Amino acid sequence: MRRQPDLKAKVVFMGNSRVGKTSIIQRHDRREFTAETSATIGANFIHATIVYQEKKKLELEIWDTVGTERYSCMMPCYLRKSHGAFLVFDISNRDSFEAIARWYAELENACDISNLSLVLVGNKTDLAEERKVSEDEARALADEKSMVYVETSALQNRGISEMMRVMADLLIERLEFVFLTYPNREELDTVDVAMPERRHRCKCNEYRGT
């Protein structure tokens, strides 16, 4: 009989179309890269399991959301009840980085953003010679918005595992705090899952694995 996960969480990928959200998810899920992916219509999701503390399991429901204005009216539905979000941009595309402010605002409108674990992802490091956004600038934005910053290349399979581990560490810390505070899990849909102010507002945005 399959053992139930110790923790469950919903995370969403957000960002402009063509920044590589679907390719990143495919790399993590199927360990493959597809150069030509069709644009996501609405949203798709997969499940992933991450083992922590040797035998405990975190089950993630990972949503790949649409990246175009045309479907923006649907976004609040996809974001509802999220525990975390990856905000993705293309390091060789300045517009996609500047659009992060809009995607962050979408989160603020749909969720209590103080309760979310947030990771800013600079994708396509394989295009380093065409870089339009420096690491320092991206880290400054992450620091300003209380996010952790990581860089990835779905094409070269770089940074994908680190990116997922960063999110898992953030979620595990938050959710285990909540479960200690509210041992009856049936209450969790109605409680505020914010971490204590001292911990949540830490301004260090560089990943340190557990």
**6-32: pLDDT as tens digits:** 889 999 999 999 999 989 998 876 543
Residue boundaries of the structural domains of the chain = 7-200
Nearest to 168 by CA among 99, 131, 117: 117
CATH topology of domain 7-200: Rossmann fold (3.40.50)
Q: Provide the whole-model pTM.
A: 0.78
Q: How many CB atoms lie within 10 A of CB 132?
A: 15
Q: What is the pLDDT of residues 31-60, one digit of tens each?
A: 433 444 344 444 566 788 888 887 888 999
Instruction: Please give the helix or strand (H or E) that residue 12 lies within, else none.
Output: strand 7-14
CA dist., res. 106 & res. 111, Å (int): 9
